[in-house]
């Protein structure tokens, strides 16, 4: 059993805790949150842009609660921590955990400062720690299928890919308290569209050219982003679009449309059970499998790497940092 703590028990911290509790190779020993009194209140609150799953409060009875990571490190024996705080705290808390010799699962994005990301990668390498950033699309079944079809050319070569992700302005947790400070999340580009930017980076490599436009919103100067990626060695074009410029209760929706030589495919979280695969003769609905399993899968993968003492090749922190570099290229 690996002993694990979750740092930041907001929407994502609860998602991590729920998936750690489901995994019989893991023991959740501690939760750290500056609002330690709020932990019980948050359980089963269902906050966030998709279901965080409900946690039975009884499952947390024997889990120790701390206000600071420093106290938690001083009092607990742990193998790893999951850092699920807002982006402006990723670097300091991940560095503190690594300095104490702990393996780190860090929520996306790695950091908005490239040099901070480099320092974390260097620290993890020097200490021989497993360090992974939670780019969950890499572990979600509908996106894994898209990767398999593209890599194996099952429907021929990919000609056009459109990725999108829209949500209302977040109205849960720290998000709603920090309006003035929203620059710390990086806005929709670094917080929301980064999912798709990272996935296309993983799927096809970095683009040679990015043409982008963006619009300001409640959170940052780029709360809506629309971009075209192109590759000099392929005729393939990629369109990425998304943002959180809408009202808070606007339904979250993300998905992809891909045009391969022999078929076109469509996946949308508005109908998450299926992926449409169409050609000129028919439209088939194939099982998308469980898109939300990505949160379990990414955690399970991280601990398999830890068990085997190997690097997380499917989601290397160097690749996460390159994704940040690509995000910045959208602002040129
Ligand atoms: N992978 C995904 O799909 C996904 C989705 C949403 C958010 N995120 C990421 O998760 C992170 C957190 O977002 P969220 O929506 O859960 O935020 P949130 O506001 O719901 O939760 C943040 C929590 O951190 C706590 N906190 C603040 N400072 C702390 C500190 N110093 N030590 C310990 N706890 C502290 C707050 O009290 C709060 O409970 C962000 O980095 C975001 O990018 C990822």
| CATH code, domain with 275 | 3.30.360.10
Task: Look up the CATH number of the domain holding residue 113.
Answer: 3.40.50.720
From 143, 174, 181, 253, the mutation candidate for ligand 1 (largest count of ligand atoms within 8 A of CB) is 174
- CA–centroid distance, 13 to ligand 1, in Å, is 7
Separation between Cα atoms, residue 117 and residue 165, nearest integer Å: 25
Nearest CA to ligand 1 atom 40: 86
Taking residue 281's Cβ as centre, other Cβ atoms within 10 Å add up to 5
User: What's the pLDDT at 13?
Assistant: 95
Residue 324 lies in a domain: no
123 and 233 in a single domain? The answer is no
323 belongs to a structural domain: no
Say how many C-beta atoms besides its own lie within 10 A of residue 296's C-beta.
Answer: 18
Pocket probe for ligand 1: among 7, 12, 110, 138, the residue whose CB has the most ligand atoms within 8 Å is 12
User: Ligand 1 centre and the CA of 11: distance in Å?
Assistant: 6
Q: Give 191 Cα–ligand 1 centroid separation in angstroms.
A: 11
Q: Residue 274 and residue 32: Cα distance in Å, rounded?
A: 38
Cis peptide before 78 (omega within 30 of 0): no
- Token pair, residue 259, equals 């045009």
Say yes or no: 153 and 86 in one domain. Answer: no
Which pLDDT score, from 0 to 100, does residue 3 have? 98
For the Cβ of 89 lying below 6 angstroms from any atom of ligand 1, the answer is yes
Contact between 90 and 317 under an 8 Å Cβ cutoff? The reply is: no
Distance of alpha carbon 224 from alpha carbon 188, whole angstroms: 7
Report the domain count for the chain: 2
Name which of 80, 93, 75 is nearest 1 in CA terms: 80
Q: What is the pLDDT of residue 122?
A: 98
- Residue 174: its pLDDT value, please? 72
β-sheet with 224-230: strand ranges across? 209-215, 224-230, 237-246, 158-168, 253-260, 264-268, 274-278, 283-287
Instruction: Output the CA 84–ligand 1 centroid distance in Å.
Output: 5
Instruction: Give residue 146's pLDDT.
Output: 98
Residues in the chain where the model's pLDDT stays below 50: 51
- What are the structure tokens assigned to 120, written together? 């974390």
Give the mutation target among 6, 67, 86, 220 for probing the ligand 1 site: most ligand atoms within 8 A of CB: 86
CA 14 to ligand 1 centroid distance, Å:
9
The pTM is what? Answer: 0.95
pLDDT at 47: 58
79 lines ligand 1 (CB under 6 A): no
304 shares its domain with 197: no
**Which amino acid residue places its CA nearest to atom 7 of ligand 1?**
12
What is the per-residue pLDDT for 281? 96
Strands annotated E in 74-206: 80-83, 103-107, 131-134, 158-168
Our answer on whether the CB atom of 320 is closer than 6 Å to any ligand 1 atom is no
pLDDT value, residue 114: 97
Q: Is the CB of 92 under 6 A from ligand 1?
A: no
Residues 244 and 172 in one domain: yes
Q: 């959740």: which residue's tokens?
A: 28
Task: Tell me, yes or no, whether 164 and 228 share the same domain.
Answer: yes
Alpha-carbon span 8 to 85, nearest angstrom = 5
Does residue 330 form part of some domain? no
Based on the domain organization, do 24 and 152 belong to the same domain? no
CB 231 within 8 A of CB 151: no
Domain that holds residue 109: 2-135+295-313
Classify residue 218 by its DSSP letter.
S
The verdict on the CB of residue 7 being under 6 Å from ligand 1 is yes
HSE-CB at 200 with a 13 A cutoff on CA atoms is: 32
Q: Classify residue 280: in a domain, yes or no.
A: yes
Q: Are residues 94 and 184 in the same domain?
A: no
Indicate whether 39 and 96 sit together in one domain: yes
**Domain annotation covers residue 329:** no
Query: Is 319 a domain residue?
Result: no
Q: Same structural domain for residues 8 and 129?
A: yes
SS3 329: helix
Nearest-CA residue for ligand 1 atom 42 is 86
Cα 220 to Cα 225: distance, rounded to the nearest angstrom:
11
Specify the pairing of strand 80-83 against strand 64-66. unpaired
The contacts of residue 304 (CB under 8 Å, 6+ apart) are none
Instruction: Return the ligand 1 atom nearest residue 87 CA.
Output: 41
12 CB near ligand 1 (under 6 Å): yes
Q: Is the CB of 231 under 6 A from ligand 1?
A: no
Instruction: Report the distance separating Cα 44 and Cα 6, nearest Å.
Output: 17
Q: Hey, what are 286's tokens?
A: 């194939």
Is the domain of 144 the same as that of 268? yes
Residues 155 and 286 in one domain: yes
């Amino acid at each position: 059993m690996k002993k694990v703590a979750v740092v930041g028990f907001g929407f994502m911290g609860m998602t991590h805790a729920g998936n750690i509790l489901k995994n019989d190779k893991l023991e959740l020993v501690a939760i750290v949150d500056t609002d330690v009194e709020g932990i019980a209140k948050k359980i089963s609150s269902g906050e966030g842009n998709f279901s965080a799953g409900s946690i039975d409060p009884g499952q947390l009875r024997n889990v120790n609660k701390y206000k600071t990571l420093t106290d938690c490190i001083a009092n607990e024996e742990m193998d790893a921590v999951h850092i699920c705080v807002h982006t402006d705290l990723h670097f300091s808390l991940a560095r503190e955990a690594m300095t104490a010799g702990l393996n780190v699962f860090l929520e996306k994005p790695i950091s908005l400062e490239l040099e901070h990301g480099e320092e974390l990668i260097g620290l993890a390498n020097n200490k021989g720690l497993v360090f992974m950033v939670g780019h969950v699309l890499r572990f979600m079944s509908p996106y894994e299928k898209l990767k398999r079809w593209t890599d194996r050319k099952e429907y021929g070569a990919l000609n056009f890919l459109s990725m999108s992700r829209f949500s209302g302005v977040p109205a849960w947790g720290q998000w709603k308290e920090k309006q003035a400070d929203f620059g710390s999340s990086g806005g929709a580009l670094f917080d929301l569209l980064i999912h798709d930017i990272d996935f296309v980076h993983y799927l096809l490599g970095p683009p040679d050219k990015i043409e982008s436009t963006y619009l300001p919103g409640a959170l940052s100067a780029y709360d809506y982003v629309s971009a075209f990626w192109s590759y000099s060695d392929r005729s393939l074009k990629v369109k990425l679009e998304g943002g959180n410029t809408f009202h808070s209760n606007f339904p979250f929706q993300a998905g992809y449309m891909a045009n391969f030589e022999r078929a076109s495919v469509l996946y949308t979280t508005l109908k998450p059970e299926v992926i449409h695969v169409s050609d000129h003769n028919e439209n088939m609905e194939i099982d998308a499998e469980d898109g939300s399993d990505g949160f379990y899968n990414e955690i399970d993968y991280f601990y398999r790497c830890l068990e085997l003492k190997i690097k997380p090749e499917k989601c290397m922190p160097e690749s996460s940092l390159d994704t940040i570099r690509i995000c910045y290229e959208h602002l040129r």
